[in-house]
Amino acid sequence: MESPSNSNTQPVVVSGIQPSGSLHIGNYFGAIRQHIELHTKHETYYFIVNYHALTSLQNAEALARYSRDVALDYLALGFDPEKASLFLQSDVPEVTELAWIFDTLTPVSQLEKAVAYKDKLSQGMSPNAGLFNYPVLQAADILIYGGTLVPVGADQKQNIEICRDLAQRFNDRFSPDDPVLTVPDPYIMKDVAIVPGIDGQKMSKSYNNTIGIFDEGKVLKKKVMNILTDSTPLEEPKNPDRCNVFALIRLFGDPETVDQIAAAYRAGGYGYGHAKTELLELIGAYFEDARERRKALEARPEFVMDVLREGGRRGREKAREIMERVRSATGLITTYE
Ligand code: ADP
């Protein structure tokens, strides 16, 4: 029998956010902005994937701090806890149980082909088993809430394929007549450009080249002034399309400002220092309201915990419904109420 798919059900949006470092403007334009846009439109579960983060961050104080910070950041950037659920992955520990069941259905050879894993190997790293199993836990994260729409960047497409395979395989093996799991669709986010870091490579916390969403003052200024440019002299015309500073200006400026700055680049007599000063102002203005909201939220840590607690309660409720069916379908007998 065909597995249920999102064509005949109400969409359920799910996505995980890794608390393995401070969120940066690459994360914002590549994911968070779309998350914020989507969460009021459909049933939505966003979880802070602290189990996943443990594969690379093994420091209790830092993991706890980054986890709370993600919640603060999302609330400051416009996440409305009345409209959707935001919670800690580890507040729904059932997800690791489902990941184990999925482990027994996943060929090692499939995980060996995962790009993220192969990248780590090619960098000479010796990944831990958690990192190897990363896509399996991700599949459990999606399927345990009945997720049908998974907003991800193009880099995540392979993991969504693994998730779809697992849902299909589970249904074929354990529940062919009454499929338990819904096969999700990736929702590849449109208009997602790769945001360059201050060294011109893809912005990533792994490359230490990020500008934090909530960086301000001297820290922000130093990073912007350090953005790598070529050495074209101030008076000469410049090509905005080949400039890291301009790539960021394009994200933060309104179309008119962006056009004006592009024209100044082409005309000459406009240096990279000018462009950096304009960028600094644009970033400051863009996140001004969010920064204010974040400061107000920092003074209310109990509120933030309450948001996570309530989100976790809703997530657990949903997860337990599916896990009951998963256990029954697989023959995992339960003896307690
Ligand atoms: P990092 O590379 O800093 O570890 P993650 O892998 O945790 O970032 O990415 C989280 C989300 O942010 C993903 O959906 C990813 O596609 C998006 N993202 C991360 N870096 C960028 C970037 N430089 N440009 C666009 N999107 C990005």
How wide is the angle at C-alpha 29 spanned by C-alphas 24 and 35, nearest 5°?
A: 100
Q: Look up tokens 């706890």; give the residue.
A: 64
User: How many CB atoms are located within 10 Å of the residue 254 CB?
Assistant: 8
Q: Name the token pair of 183.
A: 């096969």
pTM for this predicted structure:
0.94
d(CA 150, CA 143): 10
pLDDT (0 to 100) of residue 152: 82
Helices vs. strands in the chain: H and E counts, helices first: 16, 5
- 35, 204, 206, best to mutate for ligand 1 pocket (most atoms within 8 Å of CB): 204
For the chain, domains (ranges, CATH) are: 12-195+301-330 (3.40.50.620), 215-286 (1.10.240.10)
How wide is the angle at C-alpha 18 spanned by C-alphas 225 and 88, nearest 5°?
A: 135
Query: Could you tell me the CA-to-CA distances from 275 to 140, 232, 269 in Å, in that order?
Result: 45, 13, 11
Using the mean position of ligand 1's atoms as its centre, give its distance from the Cα of residue 142 in Å: 18
The pLDDT tens digits along the chain (337 residues) read 444 555 557 899 999 999 999 999 999 999 999 999 999 999 999 999 999 999 999 999 999 999 999 999 999 999 999 999 999 999 999 999 999 999 999 999 999 999 889 988 998 989 999 999 999 999 999 999 999 999 887 778 899 999 999 999 999 999 999 999 999 987 777 667 789 999 999 999 989 999 999 999 999 999 999 999 999 999 999 999 999 999 999 999 999 999 999 999 999 999 999 999 999 999 999 999 999 999 999 999 999 999 999 999 999 999 999 999 999 999 999 898 7
Q: In this structure, are residues 249 and 60 in contact, taking their beta carbons and an 8 Å threshold?
A: no
Q: Which residues of 282-310 are buried (b: 16+ CB within 10 A; e: fewer)?
A: bbbebbeebbebbeebeeeeeebeebbee
Nearest Cα to Cα of residue 87 among 248, 336, 335, 304: 304
Give residue ranges with CB within 6 A of ligand 1. 18, 26-27, 29-31, 152-153, 155, 192, 194-195, 202-206
